[in-house]
Structure 1
Amino acid sequence: MPSAWITHVGHAMPGPAVAQREFATWMEPRLVPGTSVARWRRFSERVGVAFRHSVLDVFGAEGQAFWPIEGREPPGTAERSRMFDRRALPLAVSAVSAAGIRDLSGISHVVVATCTGAIAPGLDIQLVEALGLARSVRRTVIGFMGCYAAIPALRVARDACRADPSAKVLVVCCELSSLHLQAGPSDDALLAACLFGDGASAALVAGGDAPGPAAVRIVGDASALIPDTSAHMTWYAGDRGFVLGLSPAITSSLSRDLGRLCADMLPPGVAPSQARWIIHPGGPRIVDVAAKTIGIDESHVAASRRALNQGGNRSSGTVLAILADELTRPWSGPMGMFAFGPGLTAEALLLERLP
């Protein structure tokens, strides 16, 4: 079967870093009446995040509008969608630039994943025009899958390359979560407000023979829709932005299938501890449970914790941001990539880097 290779990966975050401690203090007078300040402080301190980025001028006029002092109404969903339409493209283009793709003329397919903006014509068309891609390029948009969407996006790219080894597929994951952060009063809203950050990732997937020492081959994948968990994580359009719903049972539910999912994906004779791993850092507890369930130690999840600490949970683009970081380091052999999201859905991808 023809191979598919990730030949370039890059990640971009907007604006200056926003320190978690500074944001947490700034938000306190903006919390919805009835919100527990003590719980807000506890969440902010325990999510494993030191810095995040936003397309908004958080401490300026835009931040004041999105998280107003009591008595003012925050923007509605329509205004937030218009903001996505204006701010997503520059960030996505920055991610493509960070990936170092020198020749865009041969790109045959574009796959865009996002769950933080829903507008048409969308980011896929904007990218074709901004990057000067062929008007005949095949476009696919993967929407509202959440934090695991990069893996289905890479799967689409792999399948295109297997069908046509000359294909070159540009994958872009762009998430502007800060447009939807709510200032309480629920625990779900508080957790999201101190966990998610903005970011975009880009990858080029190509068919044919091994294209270079930095490339990683997409070897296999696995997917599991965990029974009786559809209410554990939800993401829907509310009147004032998209609304996240979370259950405390997420970690225990994921542990039911994660070990088998990842073990079955590895090549025969390869133990989980022998592979490198990218675990989507949905939060520190998720990383803890994933490591224990898969059977790997802290060294295998250091990259995931570092990504969470330095940029927060950037939804679908996070695993590609970690991959970009990992490809700057010397290693070869198998790598497992795991992410999860609404469903509950667990997605895994097996990669291989040649010596």
Structure 2
Amino acid sequence: RYCIHFMGCYAAFSGIKLADKILRAEPEAQVLLVCVELCTLHFQKEYTEDNLLANSLFGDGAAAALLSNRPEGLAIQAYSSHLISKGAPDMAWSIGDFGFEMGLSKYIPQLLQEGVGKFQEDFERKFNLSQISNFAIHPGGKQILQKVQEAFGFPEACNRHALDILRNFGNMSSVTILFVLYQMMKDSSISGKILAMGFGPGLTLETLLLHKS
């Protein structure tokens, strides 16, 4: 068993990468990835802008994914990790007397847009962006989805599943991207490459290239 903690919204990406490495070392293995987030345990009563945003945005959720070398579901093709050090203080948490105390800056969407733009050449070289028409962006908030969409230049419709999950469940931290990918797996209109992206403390960008047959 491996526990992946304190990575926030991109923890599922770290779990998927770990599972991929296990499967490369043990081709017959099956790896169960489980994400559980109980964000409401950290509900903060003090009336501050950070608490108001965190209390209204985050929700509880759980999801699991079974990974193996069988030719089913979504195939992992590549992944990468980038750090926007400029945004380190803009997304963080500390342990207070009544749970985690979130620090969420209003500049996060803009920082992510700048970061995606800065790493565009890396993404193009590694993922061949011009050949990708499906995107699974972690719905950390409506503005985050909008800014990442603008940075990549893909149509608004590409965010429909992420927006649907955000609308119905909120931001469930690491669980959220698994909900989005599940919706895309069920959508018969989606095939080929899917670029998934998540964000978290650091400010960290985790990217995963998948393929749906």
TM-score (norm 1): 0.57
The match for 2:200 is 341
* CA apart distance, 1:228: 2.5
Mapped pair 1:319 → 2:181: no
The match for 1:295 is 153
What is the SS of the residue equivalent to 1:323? helix
2:3 is matched by which residue type in structure 1?
V
Distance 1:347 1:265 in 2: 13
* CA apart distance, 1:193: 0.9
The match for 2:105 is 247
The match for 1:238 is 96
Distance 1:263 1:219 in 2: 14
CA contact (8 A) 2:138 2:162 kept: yes
1:169 to 24, 28, 31: 31
The match for 1:266 is 127
- Flag the structure with higher helix content: 2
For 1:73-104, what per-residue CA distance to the aligned partner results, in whole angstroms no more than 9, with x for missing partners? xxxxxxxxxxxxxxxxxxxxxxxxxxxxxxxx
Note closer, same or farther for the CA distance 1:187–1:159 as it changes in structure 2 (3 Å cut).
same
CA contact (8 A) 2:133 2:193 kept: yes
Instruction: Please show how residues 1-355 of structure 1 align to structure 2 within 5 Å.
Output: 139-207=1-69, 209-210=70-71, 212=72, 215-259=73-117, 260=120, 262-267=123-128, 270-271=129-130, 274-330=132-188, 331-354=190-213
What is the SS of the residue equivalent to 1:285? helix
Distance 2:175 2:148 in 1: 19
What is the SS of the residue equivalent to 1:167? coil
- Structure 2 alignment gaps of length 5 or more: none
Larger Rg: 1 or 2? 1
* CA apart distance, 1:263: 3.4
2:198 is matched by which residue type in structure 1?
A
| Cα RMSD for the two superposed structures | 1.4
For 1:203-244, what per-residue CA distance to the aligned partner results, in whole angstroms no more than 9, with x for missing partners? 01102x51x3xx110000111011232111111211011110
2:56 is matched by which residue type in structure 1?
C
1:145 is matched by which residue type in structure 2?
M
Over 3 Å off, 4+ runs: 261-265
1:183 is matched by which residue type in structure 2?
K
Distance 1:265 1:278 in 2: 17
TM-score (norm 2): 0.93
For 1:269-294, what per-residue CA distance to the aligned partner results, in whole angstroms no more than 9, with x for missing partners? x516x421111111110010010001
* CA apart distance, 1:145: 0.3
* CA apart distance, 1:264: 3.8
For 1:158-209, what per-residue CA distance to the aligned partner results, in whole angstroms no more than 9, with x for missing partners? 01101111111000110000111213311010011111110001001102x5
- Number of residue pairs matched by the alignment: 209
